[in-house]
Structure 1
Amino acid sequence: MTVILRNARPWGAEAADLVLDGGVIAAVTPAASGPAEPADAVVVEGHGRILLPSFSDAHVHLDSTRIGLPFRPHTGSAGVWNMMLNDRNNWRNAETSIADRAATCLAAMIARGTTRVRSYAQVDTDTGLERFEAVLAARETHRDRADVAVIAFPQAGLLREPGSADILEEALKLGADVVGGIDPCALDRDPVRHLDIVFGLAQKYSVPVDIHLHEPGQLGLFSAQLILERTKALGMQGLVTISHGYGLAELPDSQLRDLLEEMAALDISMSTVAPAGAPLPLRQLAASGVRVGLGQDGQRDYWSPYGNADMLDRTWQLAFTSKFRSDELIEHCVAVATIGGASVIDPQARRLSSEGDRPGLEVGDPAELVLVEGETVTAAVMDRLPGRTIIHRGQVVAEGLELV
């Protein structure tokens, strides 16, 4: 079905009319100056709103959410293992099933502008495959509204509890798109064995790798260097993501520069959730040519009360925690949250070429789009208004924060 998108402002520029056909942008012309509309075309009015590529959530835990449920006090204590135990003690006792929670959260994300998702699904000796299957079910529920890649994720590590690696492999047999890992030193305390398992499974099932790295400073650098070594040795350039990477914010300039140069050479990407205490050095990453995506992590779950399924809100957080004020840098955060994340999920997708690059709205680009209200792109990030239209594969899937 051909869609005519009228009177929209790509990246806040002059108004244009777009033709969407076959899931891609087929034409872009100045507003009201294009060819006659096909008789069977569906017309979507932009009303002068800003047109952006749709958001790409490159780091979300759809199985770790209480979006749509009553708010509850936070009960976790500091540390990855302690937070994991708090989640383990509570996740089965929610008011609805884990499958319902995952589908509800994904629906809210789509309604607010996200059509490309990379979600973790926890697999361990406690949950088995229950949470993994819930994320698969949520993906199926919304298969016509968003594209979702699923990561089999060993939240409790791979070595602390016997049988963890077997469950991780079972998820890969059932179709997980990515194999995950977590804190090879700080959590499992044996980085060689941990990475042997993760990269061994990646090779066996021909899937990418995504490793949570919460480790600080020099410990984080050590784990990152081991990941880089494996990537190079196994020829997995373009297929490895380091998530969080908190230690990067603590490295001396010379160590950071050397690490980013090697990451760029191996095409290792990063994802961030815009944390307050250890923000990624976005400008250095852009200058080095490292792919970076943004995500919402778990949302109002048993780890944290934060999160609201709105990637525009998380984009504001990315700009705020990065201490950005200029329009160019705030727009760069939008580019990271849209095209940047898309290139993390799919390394063959269009990438950001620089801090000032604003792609995704040209002829031939995927018709993954969001219309937002605002005088400028920066104003849209600051105000985060509800008047949005969400387009997936060239078709409207949400309007005014509601699915259609």
Structure 2
Amino acid sequence: MTSATRPLLLSNVRLPTGEAVSVSIANGHIEALGPNLTPPPGAATEDGGGALLLPGFVEGHTHLDKTHWGRAWYRNEVGPNLVDRIENERAWRKTSAHDAGVQSLALARAFVAAGTTRLRTHVDIDTDAGLRYLEGVLETRHALRDVLDMQIVAFPQSGMLVRPGTQEWLERALAAGADVLGALDPALIDGDPVASLDATFAQAVRHGKPIDIHLHEPGEVGAFTLKLLLDRVEATGMQGRVVVSHAFCLGALPQPEPLLERLARLDVALLTSAPPSRPVPPLKRCRELGVTIFGGNDGIRDTWTPYGTPDMLERAMLIGMRYDLRRDDELAMAFDCVSTAAARGCGFADYGLHAGARADLVLVEAETVAHAVVARPPRKLVVAGGRIVARDGALVGALISAT
């Protein structure tokens, strides 16, 4: 992301603590926060009207390359199993006019308009598509490089060992610009958790890339895979560089505590979309033990699911509902899952509301963070990298027609 070209003073806003401040922004970063700041020379000025100031939102897990956002309704008649969904999607992509570049750009722009300034997306890499979907999403990342900090995960959606040749395509994806190595259900999809995890960790270490693994495996099977994964984190020194997405097994085990304690000790983060139909990792206990747990939408309007919107306040609300978070401090915890915790889990640097942080800011008409999560008001103003990119939920300037 490049720096903004003109300083900006954002006045008359309220921090989540309730303090009324101004924000001085230069070179794309926050220079100062405090009452009655003087505008820097040549600065643009913006009166926040007493609105609540939030840091730019973080989408920790989505699939931009799959979405139908903005297209005609997709009639979903897929079978109930994971393999059904994988096969259905592969077949549909072969026969439809779906364009990962066009569709990822449409959804990414909608994310920005709703206040997301950092985003991690998984992109399918397989022996049918090669790098086609990755190339489309790389184009989107380039088009929005000044306003959206995007990490791309090279994701073997159809499995790795079970589809010979996939490892070689993953190598090419990492060389082409993917930031993170993905993986999927080493036991139930690849059929050999030891060999699958060994291959994934060897590849990640060789390329110096972090790992983000989809772990849908339930109960004891998932726990077994997770133990193997943690063994490899410890053996390879990849503490702080691994995310386990979904981790449904942790919500089904009668005694998850030993695994949670080990996750904390090895600094392995967890991602949850807080689905209503599956077990979920215990949010409060994770936080008590020091496990980074954060949120994401997963797929949005694709062949897998008709649900989802690119609004991280809505995702925070859904996290709150799934975990029965009702108190204001608990709803602030839900917001943390799509802000500070997500930035930490994904490794996005210079994040937050403090001097030196990158100037990614969102203004909303809300009394508190809890109020913002529940009411999900229109985004009054979105600032990304120090420049105003959206007003009242709509993109502004060159972003209106960006392609």
Whether the 8 Å contact between 1:83 and 1:303 is mirrored in structure 2 is yes
TM-fit CA distance, 1:69: 1.0
For 1:347 and 1:396, the matched residues in 2 are separated by 20
Q: Which amino acid aligns with 1:212?
A: H
Is this contact kept in 2: 1:69–1:95, CA < 8 A? no
Secondary structure of 1:297 counterpart: coil
TM-score (norm 2): 0.93
| Aligned residue in 2 for 1:299 | 300
> Is the Cα–Cα contact under 8 Å of residues 112 and 309 in structure 1 kept in the other structure?
yes
SS in 1 for 2:65: strand
Alignment-mate amino acid for residue 126 of structure 1 = D
Which residue is 1:61 aligned to?
Answer: 63
| Secondary structure in structure 1 of the residue aligned to 2:338 | helix
> Higher mean Cα deviation, 368-377 or 105-114?
368-377
User: 1:75–1:302: 8 Å Cα contact kept in structure 2?
Assistant: no
Does 2:23 match 1:18? yes
Q: 1:370 aligns with which of 362, 366, 382?
A: 362
The alpha-carbon distance between structure 1 residues 392 and 279, as it changes in their structure 2 partners (threshold 3 A), is same
* Contact 2:16/2:53 (<8 A) preserved: yes
- What one-letter code is carried by the residue in structure 1 that aligns with 2:133? R
Cα offset for 1:348? Answer: 5.8
Distance 2:94 2:391 in 1: 33
Distance in 1 between residues matched to 2:373 and 2:245, nearest whole Å = 24
Residue-by-residue CA offset, 1:162-217 (whole Å, 9 max, x unaligned): 21111111111212111010101111110111112111110111100110000111
For 1:275 and 1:76, how far apart are their aligned partners in 2? 19
Query: In 1, Cα distance between the equivalents of 2:368 and 2:350?
Result: 26
1:356 counterpart residue number: none
Determine if contact 1:3/1:20 at 8 Å carries over to the other structure. Answer: yes
Quick one: distance in 2 between partners of 1:195 and 1:373?
A: 47
Match of 2:32 in 1: 27
Alpha-carbon distance in structure 2 between the residues aligned to 1:112 and 1:285: 28
Unaligned runs of 5+ in 2: 1-5, 397-403
Q: Which of 236, 239, 242 matches 1:240? A: 242
2:100, 2:136 within 8 Å by CA — same for their partners in 1?
A: yes
Map of 1:92-131 to 2, 5 A cutoff?
A: 92-94=94-96, 97-131=99-133
Preserved contact between residue 238 and residue 347 of structure 1 (Cα < 8 Å): no
- In structure 2, relative to structure 1, the CA distance for the partners of 1:16 and 1:151 (3 Å cut) is same
**Percent of residue pairs identical:** 38
Deviation at 1:294, TM superposition (A): 1.1
1:157 is matched with 159
Is it true that 1:395 corresponds to 2:396 in the alignment? no
In structure 2, C-alpha distance between the alignment counterparts of 1:174 and 1:376, rounded to whole Å: 43
C-alpha RMSD of matched pairs (Å)? 1.5
Whole-Å Cα distance in 2 between the matches of residues 399 and 347 of structure 1?
25
| Structure 1 stretch displaced more, 155-164 or 340-349 | 340-349
Partners of 1:112 and 1:388 within 8 A in 2? no
Q: What are the superposed Cα offsets for residues 237-283 of structure 1, whole Å, 9 maximum, x if unpaired?
A: 1111100001111112xx32211111111111111112113233111
Kept after mapping to 1: 8 A contact 2:350/2:356: no
Are the aligned partners of 1:386 and 1:400 in contact in 2 as well (CA < 8 Å)? yes
Q: What is the CA distance between 1:37 and its match in structure 2?
A: 2.0
TM-score, scaled to structure 1: 0.93
Tell me what 1:269 maps to.
Answer: 269
Aligned to 1:84: 86
Q: Distance in 1 between matches of 2:94 and 2:311?
A: 25
3-state SS, counterpart of residue 147 of structure 2: coil
Which residue does 1:132 correspond to in 2? 134
Separation in structure 2 between the aligned mates of residue 20 and residue 39 of structure 1, nearest angstrom:
11
Which consecutive unaligned segments of at least 5 residues does structure 1 have?
A: 351-359
Partner AA of 2:298 in structure 1 = D
C-alpha distance in 2 between matches for 1:369 and 1:79: 40
* Count of equivalent residues: 390
Residue 231 of structure 1: how far off its partner (Å): 0.4
- 1:6: which partner in 2? 11
SS in 1 for 2:299: strand
Q: Which of the residues 170, 173, 182 maps onto 2:172?
A: 170
CA distance in 1, matches of 2:305, 2:194: 31
Amino acid at match of 2:251: A
Q: CA deviation at 1:75?
A: 2.0
Which amino acid in 2 is paired with 1:370? V
Measure the CA separation in 2 of the matches of 1:119 and 1:301.
Answer: 14
